[in-house]
Amino acid sequence: MNWKYRNISDDTKALTRMVQALLCALVFLSPAEAQSDSSYSVQWMAQYPSGEDPKTPGFGDRLSRLVFGKKPLEMIKPFNVVAADPDRYWILDQGAGGVFEVIEGEGKLIRSMKRASLDFPSLVGMCRTPSGDLLFTDSRLNSIVRWTDGTLSAFTDSLGLKQPTGIAYNRVSGQIWVVETGSHQISVLSGEGKRIRTLGGRGTTPGLFNYPTFIWIDAQGRVFVVDSMNFRVQILNAGGQVLGVFGTSGDATGNMARPKGIATDSQGHIYVADALFHAVQIFDEEGRFLYSFGSQGQKAGEFWMPAGIYIDGQDHIYVADSYNARVQVFQLVKK
């Protein structure tokens, strides 16, 4: 299946993006070079923060904020995102040390969820439960924290997690899957936070991991794990058996350099954000490369080291554009 990327607000910049890609010495094709008979397109919708001429903080601004402890109520380094719909979504911000809520209907109000008595030095993963609770991980605190109706609490204190990163809720089984990067494994938890079993260990064969990070569970209960330092994605069933593996290290189209966020759409296509490619790559259900969108830059539809990605039930695609200090929203459209 062929894909086309189209930026609704500015679809005349194909040449610029292509030149940027060549200068970055990447082998990615420019999104504008997709065949004209593509069945789907990925369209840019919006971003937060928004504005006629949004200015993202430069490296020096972010560094001074981190060094001098200035943490205003704005995004500094968004790393992950979950969404109910484009009018309401949550952003996990490593730079600000908190999680924010964006509400479109209230003037895009952003609200810090950070508790003054507890700093979060390394927020990584976030998921939302059917009850509306948010669970997020801190890889340095080795903990999972729960946000319920304005209250923060420890989700579990007794698991002895080792560098928890990705976290996902399985709506089929009601279980919570947590990636433990430090022990190269996945812990499967009950809805109450008790460990049911662990999967994996360090290695290169299917079922083993090498510094896994992000995780996604689709509506059928299939689990997609970004096996980061093996430069691949592993697909598991609810029991932990390997259904498929795809990906390899490299700079060419369809390879993986620094894979991060992962998600699937309603058609079963798999999206992987790659920070070094400054793009989102799209694969079919068998792991065959379809297309990519994005290139390095600060304009709409461009990225600077993207991280987390989320796709809601209406195929809205949310990308945490980390070093541009924003979240961009796209829409999958069938032509």
Q: Which of 9-18, 270-279, 282-291 is least confident? A: 9-18
**pLDDT for residue 92:** 93
Asked whether the beta carbons of 267 and 39 are under 8 A apart, the reply is no
Position 125, amino acid: G
pLDDT digits 0-9 by tens, 206-243 = 999 999 999 999 999 999 999 999 999 999 999 999 99
> Which comes out higher in pLDDT, residue 319 or 100?
319
When pLDDT is cut at 50, 70 and 90, the band that residue 200 belongs to is very high
Q: What confidence score (pLDDT) does residue 15 get?
A: 39
| Least confident piece of the model among 23-27, 155-159, 181-185, 280-284 | 23-27
Least confident of 22-31, 300-309, 316-325: 22-31
- Please check the confidence at residue 310 and state whether its pLDDT lies above 90: yes
Tokens 């996902």 found at: 168
Q: Do 262 and 306 contact (CB within 8 A), yes or no? A: no
pLDDT at position 80 is: 97
The domain tally of the chain equals 1
As a whole number of angstroms, the distance between CA 57 and CA 87 comes to 24
- Give the pLDDT confidence score for residue 113 in this predicted structure: 61
pLDDT tens digits along 91-150? 999 988 888 888 875 555 666 665 555 678 899 999 999 999 999 999 999 999 998 887
Dig out the tokens for 160 from the structure. 């002895």
Question: CA 184 to CA 204: how far, in whole Å?
Answer: 11
pLDDT at 261 over 60: yes
Q: Which domain holds residue 123?
A: 3-334
Q: Compute the distance between CA of residue 335 and CA of residue 38 in angstroms, rounded to an integer.
A: 8
Q: What percent of the chain has pLDDT over 70?
A: 77
Neighbours of 47 (CB within 10 A): 20
Over residues 70-88, the pLDDT tens digits come to 444 578 999 999 999 999 9
Is pLDDT larger for residue 315 or for residue 154?
315
Q: What number of H helices and E strands is found in the chain?
A: 2, 25
CATH number at 89 reads 2.120.10.30
Whole-angstrom Cα Rg for the chain: 19
pLDDT tens readout for residues 27-71 = 333 333 333 336 888 999 999 987 544 445 556 555 555 555 544
Confidence of residue 21 (pLDDT cuts 50, 70, 90): very low
What is the three-class DSSP state of 34?
Answer: coil
CB 244 within 8 A of CB 225: no
Which pLDDT value is given to residue 23? 37
Specify the range with the lowest mean pLDDT, choosing from 1-10, 238-247, 324-333. 1-10
Mean pLDDT of the chain: 83
Would the pLDDT of 312 be above 70? yes
User: For residue 181, what are the contacts with CB-CB under 8 A and spacing of at least 6?
Assistant: 139, 162, 163, 164, 165, 211, 212, 213, 228
| pLDDT > 70? residue 306 | yes
Task: Count Cβ atoms below 10 Å from residue 303 Cβ, excluding itself.
Answer: 27
CA atoms of 312 and 86, how far apart (whole Å)? 9
**How much is the pLDDT for 119?**
78
**Which residue has better confidence, 293 or 100?**
293
pLDDT-derived band of residue 315, with 50, 70 and 90 as boundaries? very high
pLDDT at 277 over 60: yes
Residues facing 209 on adjacent strands: 202
Residue 148 pLDDT: 87
Residues in CB range of 63: below 8 A, 6 or more apart: none
Smallest CA-to-CA distance from 214 within 276, 137, 148 is with 137
Q: What is the pLDDT of residue 121?
A: 86
Q: What's the CA gap between 147 and 152, in Å, rounded?
A: 5
Sorted by sequence, the CB contacts under 8 Å of residue 270 that are 6+ apart come out as 224, 233, 262, 263, 264, 282, 283, 284, 285, 287
Element (H, E) at 297: none
Strand partners, 286: none
3-state SS, one letter per residue, for 217-254: ECCCCCEEEEEHHHCEEEEECCCCCEEEEECCECCCCC
Q: Is 286 exposed, middle or buried (0-12, 13-18, 19+ CB in 10 A)?
A: exposed
Contact predicate 190/199, CB 8 Å: no
Which single residue is written with the structure tokens 């008979």? Answer: 37
- In this predicted structure, what is the pLDDT of residue 104? 77
β 143-148/151-156 pair status: antiparallel
Type of residue found at 51:
G
